[in-house]
Amino acid sequence: MRGTLLANRRGVQRFRQLAITAVKSSKIKLLLLCCIAFTVLVVGTRTSDFMGWTNYSDSVDQFPLPEKGYAIVMNTWKRYDLLKQSISHYSSCAGLKSIHIVWSEPNPPSDSLSKFLNHVVELKTKGLKKIKLSFDINKEDSLNNRFKEISGLKTDAVFSIDDDVIFPCSSVEFAFKVWQSAPDAMVGFVPRAHWVDKSHGKKEYYTYGGWWSVWWTGTYSMVLSKAAFFNKKYLRLYTNEMPASIKEFVTKNRNCEDIAMSFLVANATGAPPIWVKGKLHEIGSTGISSLGGHSEKRTRCLNRFVAEFGRMPLLPTTVKAVDSRISWFW
């Protein structure tokens, strides 16, 4: 009798052990199944991006834009074909609210040019939104005109751009979002650098560094206003508080207004600009940067402005904003 009871107890214990083992095995299998499903989901998503199945321009539109977008302030000079091409391109950018063309030519814009540009804007927007296009006409031919205060400007964000520079709208919208995270900073696509040149034997003599200096060192201290976002308040500061001697120097030398604006913003914020990665398309043939002695002239501007400001406000940085959704290599 006792032998029978003992055998029954052992049988029950074995059954319990087998049941516990089976339950543990099921849990492990369920956990493994969940991990495999998650891995397949992630890989599938990444693969669709890699194979081009996801339209990036559509993914940008999924992020809601604020009520206030940005205004384009475009500098131009007797290059009507380039102006038409640029206005046609940027008119389709989602966050654009108004276009202001800085006009410094001796004659006002023709009626045919004005009608053509307004027609292009209306055509590109497909009547879904109203984009105001205006010419800011100046009597004097000066590079300072691009930073004149604009009355009635409704957006805080200004995208300063040259008429021969094209960036994809997706890049512009991303740069706008970067600017929104630092609305007092200057946020742009074209970085430049400066450094102390000790070879002159002076304590504070600075040298201007172009793109190759930035590429080699990974350091920059300016973003050029040929393609940059900044707050509209800097137009007021440049117009009313920039030293007259600096503006006269810019007008006389037809150069360095972008460096002057970089000085003004850095002096006001005590912070460096932000460089945004973007693919630049220059549709013009040549510019002042292609002329001989360009770097030397820019170096002279740097030191002249340092003397006027009483110090060097530009701050070097290595920060670069990259849209990781479309960049495999940052």
Residue 258 bears catalytic tag: yes
- 3-class state of residue 193 by DSSP: strand
Longest dimension (CA), the chain: 121
Q: How far is residue 303 from each of residues 75, 133, 143, 246, 307, measured CA to CA in Å?
A: 26, 38, 19, 12, 6
Angle at 103 between CA 297 and CA 133, to 5 degrees: 130
Tokens of 185: 């900073």
User: What are the DSSP calls for 244-313, one per residue?
Assistant: HHHHHHHHHHT--HHHHHHHHHHHHHSS--EEE----EE-SS--GGGSTTHHHHHHHHHHHHHHHHTS--
Pair 83, 74: CB distance under 8 Å? yes
Strand order across the 191-196 sheet = 206-209, 191-196, 222-223
Among the listed residues 162, 164, 258, 323, the single catalytic one is 258
Strand-pairing partners, residue 194, are 208
Rounded CA-CA distance 162/102 in Å is 10
Alpha-carbon radius of gyration of the chain: 29
Residues assigned a catalytic role: 258
